[in-house]
Structure 1
């Protein structure tokens, strides 16, 4: 999990409150970068990713004595609200009893993902023009032993699902606060804390063995490198300045069915997998049907505020 995430700007709107405040009104308000901050704005600054209060560090307008750039940080009282812009290591959720964990699943606070769907289902419904809504493909999985008990080594046998990234993205604003136990995980973590931005990934990731992670990135271009559905579609994502380039490389027909086309510039893609070296850059390849999806455009600002 990257700790490089920074809040590039905060919304400034006097009198606005997270509880009950109109978010469209907030998003139309003044955007203030950390170096544009004025002290009278204190108490009326809000995160563009989760809309909770933030404060600038240092609070005074002067810069740090060690010449570090000022930055925004979330307030501890909003710690229960998940945000992909929160720079912290993921905190695993533990449960005291099987009953508590089962209740969390029933109340949709916890999801046990046995695996992501590997093959494209036989029956598909036509997606909308913008590919913002996808058919429900999730199915119930077997009971799974998951190590989420409060005591070391304690596992609970709980209902699981076989799901898709599209299913996770479908209700992202709600799901970002939900705990997920993903394949090969060691504990359940809030979705927002599981996500790693491709813009935060550099070549150092290749220095040690990887486990699959949830990644997301903004598409800046996509084209079919050949002329057939079996040809590789090269989908370029915004990446770290230290990395030459980053591509998602998957068959053209597969991508088309996922809504990834020549017209996908500006959309955010989310996937679960490992990063590989590719030429002089990095890439994601060999993803299964359920391991990649476009994020509905209405959630773009929650992931990459602009």
Structure 2
């Protein structure tokens, strides 16, 4: 699916700041600039419109007429010259990254351009976490995993034995602005893919998702409401996320005490949560449950605009 066909990952608005440049521009100044929806566009804005998710130049289609001849609404799209910059608002999925040799892949790992994930941490580590703090302020929970055989060679699916990590979604959320362009090889994958394109917004899900075989994936969504369905920390906390109306509702169902340790509580409305799991049902809606310690985390607030601008 390309950006012409995307209805879920559309760019709702662009920042308008004449003279601003992606390379060297003050991003805080850009974030504070005027937000222009596609139907508010004026022709003199050409060249000075920027994506709220990756800060690169965008252009409106069509550039001049208010609407398409077939009455489709106008929209923003990224410029081709920035296609190497990862962005969750870019609808087109890139092909997986492959490497010519073991040496090239190992060099990518050493330079922190590639991470091989063996698994996500299953149990809480023996570290002292800071209650209520964002995950970029807590101790790193990553541990070294075993050498893993991964099929990322360029020639005939060639595999390399490479160092791996046992990590957490919290570790992925930490420094998300850097990590979104980094390549990750997830458990059971066939390719290393940039993080921005491994992520699926819960609002993109449709009711027919359960018609195909499920495998764990990285998802994220904005919290609408969260509450303890009982009276004790052992009861289930129901955390509702924004979703397509056709789904009815989407719920993260986990023990309240577990959620408390993840800083998910009654006051989490508006926060973005990221998780690695399989979608299930919850009454007439969808849900995710039975997540391990390392498979869910709140995204630090400072990265909200990169994932879900607006």
TM-score, structure 1 normalization: 0.97
**Greater Cα offset, 40-49 or 82-91:** 82-91
The residue aligned with 2:172 is: 168
Aligned to 1:213: 217
SS in structure 1 of the partner of residue 246 of structure 2: coil
Given that residues 225 and 266 in structure 2 are in contact (C-alpha distance below 8 angstroms), is that contact kept between their aligned partners in structure 1?
A: yes
Residues 100 and 131 (structure 1), Cα distance of their counterparts in 2 relative to 1, 3 Å cut: closer
Name the SS for the 1:91 alignment partner.
coil
Query: Aligned residue pairs: how many?
Result: 306
CA shift at 1:129, angstroms?
4.3
Unaligned 5+ segments in structure 1 are none
Q: Secondary structure at the match of 1:103?
A: helix
Q: Cα offset for 1:147?
A: 0.5
Question: Equivalents in 2 of 1:111, 1:134: separation in Å?
Answer: 20
Match of 1:269 among 273, 280, 293: 273
Deviations 1:254-276 (A, max 9, x none): 00001101111111000001111
Partner of 1:233: 237
Shift of 1:133: 2.5
Q: Cα distance, 1:153 vs. partner?
A: 2.3
User: Which whole-Å CA distance do the structure 2 matches of 1:241 and 1:134 have between them?
Assistant: 36
Residues in 1 aligned to 2:91 and 2:81: alpha-carbon distance in whole angstroms: 15
Give the superposition deviation at 1:227: 1.3
User: 1 CA distance for matches of 2:291 and 2:116?
Assistant: 20
- Choose the corresponding residue for 1:303, options 296, 304, 307: 307
For 2:95 and 2:40, the matched residues in 1 are separated by: 32
Distance 1:242 1:44 in 2: 37
Q: Residue 20 in 1 paired to residue 24 in 2?
A: yes
- Using the size of structure 2 for normalisation, the TM-score is 0.96
The 3-state SS of whatever aligns with 1:242 is helix
1:65-214 aligned at under 5 Å gives the runs 65-129=69-133, 133-214=137-218
CA RMSD in angstroms, aligned pairs only:
1.4
Query: For the residues of structure 2 that align with 1:135 and 1:83, how far apart are their CA atoms?
Result: 27
